[in-house]
Structure 1
Amino acid sequence: MPDCKNSLISTEFQPVPVRRTVYHCKTKKGNSMSENKGTMEARISRRNFNLLGLGSAAALVAMRAGPSWAAGEKITFYGYGGQSKKNMHEVVFTPFTQATGIEVVEGTFGDETEIITRLKSGGAGDLSVYSNAGFDMYKRYVDLGANSELNEDNIPNLKLVSQVLIEQMRKLTPNGKLSAIPYLYGTTGIAYNTKHVSREEAKKLGYKLLWDKRFSGKIALSNYALDRIWSAALYTGQDPNKLSDTNAIFAALREQRPLVKKYWESGSEVMDLLAKEEVVVAETWSTRAAALKKDNYPIEYLEPEQCQAWVQNLFVLKGAPMEPCEKLLDLMLKPEINFEYCMRTNNGSALDPRKTNFPDQLKNQPGFDPSGTFEGFNIPDGAYWAEQIDKLEPQWRRVARGA
């Protein structure tokens, strides 16, 4: 997902009206739900084991004991479309509305740069909560002065989240106050067709597989600048959170470019390329590799050493109704709800496996770390990449165009 520049930044967050496409989270039977296309939707088979009934019932019991809010209270949420939107509606927002009477007005964006652009233009209207990808983007919102301060006492399930993720987020605000909660994660690794690459060979090559001339014209890579620079840094022996030689990185990306069939823009695009065997090696998200494997394609997924782990957060903007938003965030971290959503979308849960019992499906998904410490993975440093991406992305765009 491309970033945008931090130019013309207002020092004061001022909400203004914005145009949006939404549907409402209702409890009446028979309401339809639009299926807007987004970049993080997951193509998954229907799962036989379903925790939703248990999770919803538990959530209702937990929330009925809480405070009541004024009639007509609303929360406005923005996130990705497709399966992400559908499952957020069914698993999270519907039980929340049933328990509290608070309506969740739901909208979608193509990527988060739309939110950044609105904030730079003066505000984000009545937007309350949205799905925030990565600590680098989180830091951008803090720098724009759009961050709220969560009352963690109102989010008791926060204690179940991996402290590695919480501490990284605290470091990005001057006073250590959280404006968001991590709720899921995944990795960006390498999917490969087992008819062309063996597991042993893939493991031995690691990131070199993305530069292997044997697969010229059969490689697909993410078009997101951070992903391209990250893998090239590891290929050239650098720390991706502390680049030492960007000339070597861009030289490696130029060397790689003739081998690439497609720099993909969405998860559905790379899945289609792999499923049709138009490519046999692809950088992709763990969620997409898991979906292909579920559908019995000859695909395996490699997470090389220091593979990038990315985190999805629910971010609450300054000026939002805090208590209702905090109640919603707490529900998202309730194990029954969180696990159900993650299993439906093939994501990893941000909850710590040492603090709660994970379902087998989540334990068997790519990227699962029983230690809860993300050992062996590397999470993009929010402060570092929020600053670096604006400098490096234009260089990557020139390489992508063939310069």
Structure 2
Amino acid sequence: MTTKLLMSGVAILAMTALSAQADTLRLLTWGGYAPEEVIAKFQEETGHTVEVTLSNNEEMIAKLRATNGGGFDLAQPSQDRITGAQAEFGIYKPMDLSKIDASLFIPSMLEATKSNTTFEGAVYGLPHVWGTDGLVLNTAQAGNVKDYIDLCDPSVAGKVSYRMKRPTLIGFAFSMGLDPFAAYDDPDAYKGVIDQVEAKLTECKANVKTYWEGGDEIKNLLRSGEVVAAMAWDTGGWQLNDDNKDITFVAPAAGALGWIDTFALPARGRADDAAYAWINFVMRPEIAAMITASAGNFTASQGGEAEVDDALKAKFQASFPQEAIDNIKWYPPVPAGLETLEGAALDRINAAN
């Protein structure tokens, strides 16, 4: 009896200690990156609770800017959106790399992301989920579309959709034989690129059924046949392919646009330990595979692809033969001020008759 009471007391003390140390992780992330089954496993294992707010790049920066980096403990902006935002607004704090299990990450992706998110000598981001923007086509009805600029082809007039966001500007620029990334460090040169793309997208408006805003919206437009050619994410095309084999993701001739969504610490986050625990937890291969199943995109987890569904692997290989992989245009960090220039161009395109 004495032994049982002693063990019971130890258990209660352990639970009390865990409760005292446990924090709520306020996670600002994208849809699919924190599925319920992953949250449940994390909470059971660590004692930390998780509150999820879904967002996108523009909203993440706006939310953190409005609070001077407060309100959240871990955010997941794309790697090209960190150093510029940090330079302008100071909304993040450096990563403590000693708290990260680097062996969980694909080494090349970890090093590239660390390099691209380094500001004033400190690392501000680590890689998580990656994927591409490109073309999602009904191949039976949009056979002439091979590149972004082909969305302006008369054969798909009135059945095209893309977002009024910066990837559209970037994709069309490459398709027009321009190199927007090479002009990043020269504002005048970059404005010259954007001016040419603005003119083309304004001319192309007659082809556009609608400018989509959410993933469900564009998938429904493609399912219904109202849209047969779109600029969209690879995962959306692969999901649609499950129901209609004519619809799939196609890497454009000018190159798909590669993005990496990161882990970044908001400047005034108050649960860093929970944030680091989450990072190390979700990068474990078996957990990473669960996130790939939910989000549809692969992660930077070392070995995480081993447990991914064979059907998804096959779709990836069909969309990305080696030459298409080699042609991916990876987003570099966005210099401060560029997005203001881009936003003005997008507003003018949207308002044009």
TM range, smaller chain? 0.7 to 0.9
Q: Mapping of 1:4-403 within 5 angstroms?
A: 70-81=20-31, 84=32, 87-91=34-38, 93-109=39-55, 111-132=56-77, 134-143=78-87, 144-157=89-102, 159-164=104-109, 166-198=111-143, 201-202=144-145, 205-224=146-165, 226-243=166-183, 244=189, 245-246=192-193, 247-304=195-252, 305-318=254-267, 319-351=269-301, 357=306, 359=308, 360-366=310-316, 375-384=326-335, 386-402=336-352
Aligned pair in 2 of structure 1 residues 358, 97: CA closer, same or farther (>3 Å)?
closer
User: Sequence identity, in percent?
Assistant: 21
Mean alpha-carbon deviation: is it higher for 261-270 or for 291-300? 291-300
* Mapped partners of 1:210, 1:370: distance in 2: 22
Do the aligned partners of residues 240 and 158 (structure 1) sit closer, same or farther apart at CA in structure 2, a change above 3 Å counting? farther
Q: Output the CA distance in 2 between the equivalents of 1:106 and 1:165.
A: 25
CA distance in 2, matches of 1:329, 1:214: 46
Distance 1:366 1:358 in 2: 15
Cα gap change, 1:181/1:370 in structure 2, threshold over 3 Å: closer, same or farther? farther
Q: What residue number does 2:5 align with? A: none
CA distance in 1, matches of 2:302, 2:244: 30
Q: Secondary structure at the match of 1:116?
A: helix
- Gap runs ≥5 in structure 1: 1-63
Against the structure 1 CA distance between its residues 356 and 260, is the aligned structure 2 distance closer, same or farther, given a 3 Å change threshold? closer
Change (3 A) 1:100 1:316: same
Question: Is the Cα contact below 8 Å between 1:220 and 1:261 reproduced in 2?
Answer: yes
Name structure 2 gaps, 5 residues minimum: 1-13, 184-188
Q: How much has 1:263 moved relative to structure 2?
A: 1.0
TM-score between both structures, scaled by the size of structure 2: 0.81
Provide the C-alpha distance between the structure 2 equivalents of 1:127 and 1:121, rounded to a whole number of angstroms: 12
Question: Does the residue aligned with 1:123 lie in a helix, a strand or coil?
Answer: coil
Aligned partners of 1:267 and 1:153: how far apart in 2?
Answer: 36
Q: Aligned-pair RMSD on alpha carbons?
A: 2.9
Amino acid corresponding to residue 258 of structure 2 in structure 1 = A
Find the aligned partners of 2:134 and 2:59 in 1 and give their Cα distance. 26
Higher helix share: 2
Counterparts in 2 of 1:88 and 1:316: CA distance versus 1, 3 Å: farther
- Post-superposition Cα deviations, 1:118-155, rounded to whole Å, max 9, x if no partner, equal 433343544101232x2232224422223222232322
> Does the Cα contact within 8 Å between 1:79 and 1:130 map onto a contact in 2?
yes
1:294-332 CA-to-partner distances (Å, cap 9, x unmatched) read 123520221124211122222222343323311210111
Measured in 1, the distance between the counterparts of 2:167 and 2:67 equals: 30
Task: Classify the secondary structure of the residue corresponding to 1:238.
Answer: coil
Q: Distance in 1 between matches of 2:349 and 2:47?
A: 52
> Structure 1 length as normaliser, TM-score?
0.72
Q: Deviations over 1:54-91 (max 9, x none)?
A: xxxxxxxxxx9xx967345222112245xx26x53322
AA aligned to 1:351 is: S
**Deviation string, structure 1 residues 358-384 (Cα, Å, up to 9, x no partner):** 63345334378799x963211221134
Change (3 A) 1:363 1:104: same
Question: Which secondary structure state, in structure 2, belongs to the residue aligned with residue 242 of structure 1?
Answer: helix
CA distance in 1, matches of 2:222, 2:107: 33
Distance in 1, Cα, partners of 2:84 & 2:44: 34
Q: Which has the larger radius of gyration?
A: 2
Check whether the contact 2:74–2:264 (CA below 8 A) recurs between aligned residues: yes
Residue correspondences, number: 324
